[in-house]
Structure 1
Amino acid sequence: MGDTAPKQDTKQDTRLVVLDMAGTTVADDGLVERAFDHAAGELGVVPGSPAHQEMLDYVRTTMGESKISVFRHLFPSEEQAQRGNRAFETGYAELVGAGHCAPLPGAEDTIRELRKAGLTVVLTTGFSGPTQQLIIEALGWQQLADLALCPADAGGRGRPYPDLALAALLRTGAADDVRQLAVVGDTGYDMRCGASAGAGVVAGVLTGAHGAERLRADGATQVLGSVAELPELLLSR
């Protein structure tokens, strides 16, 4: 005899939204590349040289990854990687302090609408905690989201590992099932993070580093023009 047990409905409402920052909710406008140029110069990499271009190509490819991991790949010693990462964070902080930091259109309204509907929203980043907080303070977002997490808050591994998304679930207790999780970002590494975490929604946005083809190849279940389209996607589920 066949299995006559009733089929279970596997559809899950979204309860927790994990949102990337730079390129997804915060305008990047080349700040990451400018901060990398600052760091590379500190380590003696000649601007415009083949080595500099190769490194910059890697930075673009790995947008969304923990920055210290990027520097560990680019430089042979831990001392150089740490020095490069510190110089990157300093350069980025200077750019933010000079006013080069703005929310992407619709980002604030999206977060408010999702939270008003009862969803929990967590902001995540590949930057260090101090840089993340600097951005949040520059935007006046201290009370906007429920929680903000950086790689150090998730054991040290950033994207593409699932740790940040799963840490958001564990820290908030907002979901009972990973399928109730939505992970949203502008990079392939964001998509790989969400897919590896088992998120029910892995949404890519076209306002940042990577295009639709890369986002889908790395696990996007949906590709949106911007984060402003997210409430329509999630609240209709």
Structure 2
Amino acid sequence: MHYQAPTRLSAAILDWAGTVVDFGSFAPTRIFVEAFAQFDIELSLDEARGPMGMGKWDHIRTLCDQPAVAERYQRRFGRAPTDADVTAIYERFMPLQIAKVGEHSALIPGALETIAALRERGLRIGSCSGYPLAVMGKVVELAAAKGYSPDHVVATDEVPKGRPSPAQALANVIALGLDDVAACVKVDDTEPGILEGRAAGMWTVALRFSGNFLGLTWDEYQALPAERRTAERTRIDGLFAGSRPHYLIDTIAELPAVIDHINARLARGESPQAC
């Protein structure tokens, strides 16, 4: 038997918040601020956004390891935050997230049209998120009511290790019965999500403006003057540089053209691992 490289994409593995739903990725970040506040620990929205894309327990652990946050915790409780403290914050975070995720569940403009275009090109639609299963159930239900139902969903607590591990992306590959990771593209608005796709051996597409790095609502984004958008593209491209996405686009609405470009590269014998 001989290895035959794929000549076309067979699947897109899409992130959720900041990629397909919740323009600006507000649902998880604002709840982190509220959860920490219940322990009398001040957390800014910018600080909450820092580790976005990781599983939520790991996200809280990373926040607690930040020197400024650890210092506030030390002043409040007289000690550095332990894993037990992280779990306590996480247990406050979960019911808040489940209760409020619906407030930021709108589909990102262009998402449904893009997904329809991908299906027309023969792609299966997988998905994964930093949300745990208890939250994902609500997110999936709300998205289905708005017309979006991917072929498979993997929550962060359904695999042994969350992002930037490739486990969630690869769980989609297995569940969808796909033959080659090089025929898959991972689309995400965070560095851990792009690293996940890279580690899985997939093509990767980073989203600049719909997610965590810009952190604006759709209306705020639409109101940005052209020169500000240009400056933000440069800034955000720099933030993504270390994770080495194959492509950077503004929002998911631009994805079909990227799919066509990747298919042309695959037809020429190129692979994501070599780029």
> Which one of the candidate residues 126, 143, 159 is aligned to 2:130?
126
SS, match of residue 147 in structure 1: coil
When the two chains are superposed, the root-mean-square deviation of aligned CA atoms in Å is 2.2
Matched, 1:81 2:86: yes
Matched, 1:222 2:247: yes
Q: How has the CA–CA distance of structure 1 residues 57 and 100 changed in structure 2, closer, same or farther, with 3 Å as cutoff?
A: closer
Aligned-partner residue type, residue 90 of structure 1? P
Is the 2:23–2:211 Cα contact (8 Å) retained in structure 1? yes
SS, match of residue 149 in structure 1: coil
User: 138-147 or 124-133: which moved more?
Assistant: 138-147
Aligned ranges for residues 174-193 of structure 1 at < 5 Å? 174=178, 176-193=179-196
Q: CA deviation at 1:122?
A: 1.0
Q: Deviations over 1:71-112 (max 9, x none)?
A: 233443333222212222222222234x33211011122222
User: 136-145 or 16-25: which moved more?
Assistant: 136-145
Q: CA deviation at 1:171?
A: 1.6
* Superposition TM-score, scaled by structure 2 size: 0.72
Q: How has the CA–CA distance of structure 1 residues 163 and 79 changed in structure 2, closer, same or farther, with 3 Å as cutoff?
A: same
User: 74-83 or 29-38: which moved more?
Assistant: 74-83
Tell me how far apart the structure 2 counterparts of residues 120 and 153 of structure 1 sit (CA, whole Å). Answer: 20
Is the 1:16–1:182 Cα contact (8 Å) retained in structure 2? yes
Q: Deviations over 1:36-72 (max 9, x none)?
A: 1111022231x3xxxx35xx65532211011111223
How many residues align? The count is 219
* Superposition TM-score, scaled by structure 1 size: 0.83
Is the 1:111–1:144 Cα contact (8 Å) retained in structure 2? no
Q: CA deviation at 1:198?
A: 1.0
Return the structure number with greater helix share: 2
Gaps of 5+ in 1: 1-7
Aligned-partner residue type, residue 252 of structure 2? V
> Which one of the candidate residues 16, 19, 28 is aligned to 1:21?
16
Tell me how far apart the structure 2 counterparts of residues 67 and 28 of structure 1 sit (CA, whole Å). Answer: 19
2:218 aligns with: none
Gaps of 5+ in 2: 65-80, 214-235, 264-275
Tell me how far apart the structure 1 counterparts of residues 39 and 111 of structure 2 sit (CA, whole Å). Answer: 36
